[in-house]
Amino acid sequence: MTVLPALQAELAAATDRLLATTAGLSDDDVAAPSRLPGWSRGHVLAHVARNADSHIRLLTWAKTGVKTPQYPTAESREAEIEAQAARPAAEHLADLRDSAARLDAAVRDLPEQAWRASVAGMRPPDHPAWYCLVRRLREVGMHHVDLGAGYGPSDWPEAFVLRELHDCAATWPRENSPIRSFRLSGAEWKVGEDGPSVEGAPADMLAWLTGRSGGEGVRLVPEGRTMTPGPAALPAPPPWLIVTAPADLPATPPEDYP
């Protein structure tokens, strides 16, 4: 048994939650600003739908061996989102549902050996096809919060939070951050030998690290001393998602991840 069935089930549940939120949005709601600067909720929804199609292209690459870029170009990706953002709520919902169903069909149709194929996003490094499920879960979970429509970091499932924290640590840009580790309840994720740490509850930590909060619930710990909770004492979080995937992923789908 590999991690694939669990990731597929988690993705189905995350998609259902996003569809339920989207079904409750009116045309005015969709046109309103999201939590992402410069993007309406319609921009977020269009992006999530087109991201499903982009992952179908990656799975097609894995299945056929013919290189199929996730997006033709960065410019075409942005233009497509912009062109579709102003659609009515019902069109966004239908597109989100249909694109997710197409992706689900592509996942179910992928031969076992194809999950080991190497594919690539718009940034390095290349990664095995099975990691596409992790990447798609990230898109759905993070952008559900970005809608600003009642779903927040505290609603993220525990498995999602711990996996994303693991990958934050695995891809930490050490040269761009004074923080050398972050601590959760009973565990520490070290990213360097010396320097201050941050600590907090898992969901609070992930929200801060990914730019989904101002640092509420996260504390700076210099020289082993805990400071007063709150974002005022925190430095800026390190850049997030500067790479597509951790560099040392196993080619064969593991039994569990992380």
Q: Where exactly are the structural domains of the chain? A: 4-151, 159-233
Handedness of CA 189, 190, 191, 194 (dihedral sign): positive
pLDDT at position 219 is: 86
Residue 116 has a CB neighbour count (10 Å cut-off) of 14
Predicted confidence at residue 56, as pLDDT, reads 98
CB 138 within 8 Å of CB 14: no
**What's the mean pLDDT in 109-116?**
98
pLDDT recorded at residue 127: 98
Can you tell me the mean pLDDT for 81-106?
98
Which pLDDT score, from 0 to 100, does residue 183 have? 75
136 vs 15: CA distance, rounded Å: 10
Taking residues 181-197, report their average pLDDT. Answer: 68
Under the banding of pLDDT at 50, 70 and 90, the label for residue 228 is low
Distance CA 170, CA 214 (A): 22
pLDDT tens figures, 10-62: 999 999 999 999 999 999 999 999 999 999 999 999 999 999 999 999 999 99
Rounded to two decimals, the pTM is 0.94
CB 20: neighbour CB atoms within 10 A?
A: 10
CB 225 within 8 A of CB 210: no
pLDDT at 180: 74
Q: Supply the CATH classification number for the domain 159-233.
A: 3.30.1050.20
The Cα–Cα gap between 29 and 116 comes to 41
The answer to whether 4-151 and 159-233 have equal CATH topology is no
Beta strand extents in the chain (DSSP E only):
118-119, 127-128, 181-184, 187-190, 197-200, 218-221
More confident call, 154 vs 190 = 154
What's the pLDDT at 230? 54
Question: In CATH, what is the architecture of 4-151?
Answer: Up-down Bundle (1.20)
Looking at residue 207, its pLDDT comes to: 96
